[in-house]
Structure 1
């Protein structure tokens, strides 16, 4: 099948080829209505920019962008605290490669394509954080149309292995819950969003389920608590379980923030951690060692993640093949479990 061209887009959108070029390059001389017609036509034709041809037309500026999604679930911080050490490691490693980094906090309704893909403010993009994963995929599809190299830290998607870099979420959760079961815990709460719209957490839920299955246990469905990812939500979720008199002796939270909130709720209710209830988190934030008891958790390797993200993006920018990467996690046992 013949590869669609900008002339095909122009014919379908009812504009000139020059207008198509200006629209796809982000020129402000094109109205928003015309730009949208061009994008719609490009999507209908499954048009993508030839990255190698694009490189011949424009020089690299030796800058990458790191776009951090605004995290509205954290009342006291607009950035998920897990990303702070990852950002630091990205900056450090990019510096060793002689690459400048442009940082930006992205609002939920931000137009990444117009701001970065079309404007050529960076050679490529690293995305950190997302909300609804399906809508996220639809929005980054615009970047494919313009040939902007990009990588995401999150769930590894087999259908697009060159774009997603992530931790071994299911394996990490499995090791955490397996440890809780081996220490005698039989009724373990799952705190987090266990849906495919939050793919990383859904992978951790699968690890939670697999550990139970291998131990011959069937989790009580009342113990799977869907909640936003914040310390306050973790505390509120445990408050509700206690108020409803749902028995449990362990907690696995998909983030450390939820786990810290769970510990605070349990202690407020007069329960001892881990004597009465063991608690396990995921991420290994610095705060894990600042609470009493210190929090057992699953560590995500942000140093390795930063290196893989930057190296993968650099390879994509240069038109080189890349591989799907899952970064190993590590079970870190402290006082809470």
Structure 2
């Protein structure tokens, strides 16, 4: 089979990542073989290539978002059969520890993000992959492989941030940083499912208009010096209830100041840098909550797949690339000019 492989760390996708012929994987008794019809990019695909902040096994196949068709099943698999359409839950955990058994598989000490920390040669940027049957979610016939791949990681992560971590409630005000990102587009729609007022941020007029089309009530440019003041004006100086954060260093202190008393900031990334400072007075005088979040549960992925199949969440796809242009997708991710998800079609070279 063919796969997008890199054998060294680097920052130039066209030089580092190549389409290669690799051996077909062999499935274990509890695994299935999936023919991958669509894969989606995430920022961790860049981190893997950069070798920072975590070094990955080499040779490496990236890709933590994927959907496809089961082509064979292991002898112990009873819940799935050949021909079924599935999305992959990329959180690999032990399934027997206290965290796993209390529905927190993302907190498992042995957790690995499939397609990022796994390998060698095990990820979604390939024509076939093997997965434990516990890491699959069936997708309905009315949901395309592209839509399933586009919503899987970002939808599950956003649902976990808003519902499980922030405990979102109707009529709250939610600030979604980077509304044009995968997390941003999913978070806007999930917050509107809960009848919340959504303030999104975007870096240009085109992205702002698209955020409005997803249901955002207000959109501001977080690259302007007075962006924080505009949020205060919208909330009449009351602040926001929930902030969805993945920008990091450049905006984190301002975001903390924008929380209302008892408000919650949930962070799942730091694209502008990992180190930041905050004024601790905002933390204890206002009783705010600053929470970390990573991925989500298989049940949350199933929830997102359901609402997407019902038309309540719309996967936002910017570009669909043939497999031979895998490096172009990584360059687009690095430049940040896209709105929504970038997809690969591994079966089309």
Task: Compute the TM-score of the two structures, normalised by the length of structure 2.
Answer: 0.33
Higher relative contact order (CA 8 A, sep 6+): 2
Structure 1 or 2: more helix by fraction: 1
Structure 1 or 2: more strand by fraction: 2
Q: Which has the larger radius of gyration?
A: 1
Task: Compute the TM-score of the two structures, normalised by the length of structure 1.
Answer: 0.34
